[in-house]
Amino acid sequence: MNHQPFEKWIFEEDDLTPKELELFSEHLEECNECTGLRASLHQVEQRLRVAPILAPSPGFADRWKASLAERTAREQQRQVRKFLTTLFLSGGLLFVLIFSQLLLTSSPTDWLITGIQFTTLSVLRFNQLPQVIMTFLQILPPAIPIVVWVFATVTFSLLGILWAGTIWRLSTRGVHNL
């Protein structure tokens, strides 16, 4: 069977005259090869029409990078907020624990005396602050059990580690980590 010019017409179907179209469809009816070729071509055309929709729109990479920077900044803000919240909650909890411990183990008068002693010593020996603090610690032990001091030390150590860890994470956190 002679497939020309029909095989060629498959690729220029839109440009055919009514007479040519008639001959063309007559040939297709009796030729499986050309019908198959035409079907394949239509499939390819179909995919080409869908492709532009699937392909990224112009400037997509730039916008994606911009939104990535935005997301990185948001994530860092979130980390800082989380860190500060943890810090304040821990500090608040520690304060409440020490304060309630003081209230339970000492009278407000003791408190007042200790406070006045500490303030007086601080004012008198401002240049000897380390000794003042040591004195303060020596005044306080009857009021605050060693457990509280251990707890306070551990808590502040943990906060220090948490702080260092957060700073480290924020400073080393790269775009690739997201």
User: Which residue's CB is nearer to Zn ion, number 36 or number 141?
Assistant: 36
Single out the residue of 2, 165, 174, 177 nearest to residue 80, CA to CA. 165
Min dist CB 53 to Zn ion, Å, is 33
Q: For binding to Zn ion (CB under 5 A), which residues are involved?
A: 3, 31, 33-34
- Cα–Cα nearest to 170, from 77, 66, 70, 71: 77
Q: Least Å distance between CB 22 and Zn ion? A: 15
Please state the closest distance from residue 31 (CB atom) to Zn ion, in A: 3
Angle at 124 between CA 120 and CA 130, to 5 degrees: 95
Nearer to Zn ion, 41 or 167 (CB): 41
1 vs 51, which CB is nearer to Zn ion?
Answer: 1
User: CB-wise, 2 or 171, nearer to Zn ion?
Assistant: 2
Provide the minimum distance between the beta carbon of 2 and Zn ion in the complex, in angstroms, as a whole number.
8
Continuous H helices in the chain: 6-9, 18-30, 32-54, 60-105, 108-124, 129-139, 146-172
- 79: exposed, middle or buried (Cβ count in 10 Å: 0-12, 13-18, 19+): middle
